[in-house]
Chain A
Amino acid sequence: AQSVTQLDSQVPVFEEAPVELRCNYSSSVSVYLFWYVQYPNQGLQLLLKYLSGSTLVKGINGFEAEFNKSQTSFHLRKPSVHISDTAEYFCAVLSGNTGKLIFGQGTTLQVKP
């Protein structure tokens, strides 16, 4: 069965510092991987996705993620965060059988001034 683990529940970081949010997945088949962001009191917005091809995926708002098949990871990175990046971030894998998204537990990014 597919699963997703986000290794940090909370990540505090100062403004303009780099950040990495970690995500590991388990799957025995080809995977489609996603990062979603949820700003306070809002729905989920797609940041980026990996379907195939280049393992480095660039998304919106300066975020990028790297698909690493050997380590079964899909970590999200940003070289310099802003206060406005404070949000909850979800990593997810698409289940081919049912078409559902299997989500990780979420990581709260807290950007401090």
Chain B
Amino acid sequence: EAQVTQNPRYLITVTGKKLTVTCSQNMNHEYMSWYRQDPGLGLRQIYYSMNVEVTDKGDVPEGYKVSRKEKRNFPLILESPSPNQTSLYFCASRTVSGDTQYFGPGTRLTVL
């Protein structure tokens, strides 16, 4: 089944404790991205990647890092999480020439 998977689905952590949210897709998509969803703000892009080893900032990149060492994986790294990063995070992918993004199930992160 074609899908985007994220792990973990739920995470509660404390300020300053490094964490990684994994994202993997099995559709051989070149383009991958991370969004965060906050009430009243919709979804905003954090980072995106056009292909392996090619990443760039989205609209709200502060406090986040990403890497794209393999085509299928696009982890989101929070080196020192803060409470304002409490949010619902979505990973998405599509072909580089495609128009439709496929979303993962989401990761609900709480930073205390």
- Residues on A facing B (Cβ under 8 Å): 4, 6, 9, 32, 34, 36, 42-46, 49, 51, 90, 92, 94, 98-101, 103-106
Contacts and interface: CB of A to CB of B under 8 A. Distances in A.
Interface residues of B, number: 26
Interface of B is mostly: strand
Select the residue from A49, A94, A99, A105 with max chain B CB neighbours within 10 A.
A99
Contact of B45 (A4, A44, A100): A100
Interface in B16-71: 31, 33, 35, 40-45, 48, 50, 56, 58-59
Given A43-B90, A43-B106, A44-B90, A101 B101 contact: yes
B29 to A, nearest CB: 11
Given A44-B103, A46-B100, A101 B48 contact: no
B42 A99 contact: no
A106 B90 CA distance: 15
Interface of B: 4, 31, 33, 35, 40-45, 48, 50, 56, 58-59, 90, 92, 94, 96, 99-101, 103-106
Contacts of A98: 45, 48, 56, 58
Contact of B43 (A42, A46, A51, A90): A90
Interface centre among A90, A94, A100, A105 (most CB of B within 10 A): A100
A43 B40 contact: no
A88 to B, nearest CB: 9
Given A42-B105, A43-B104, A99-B31, A49 B45 contact: no
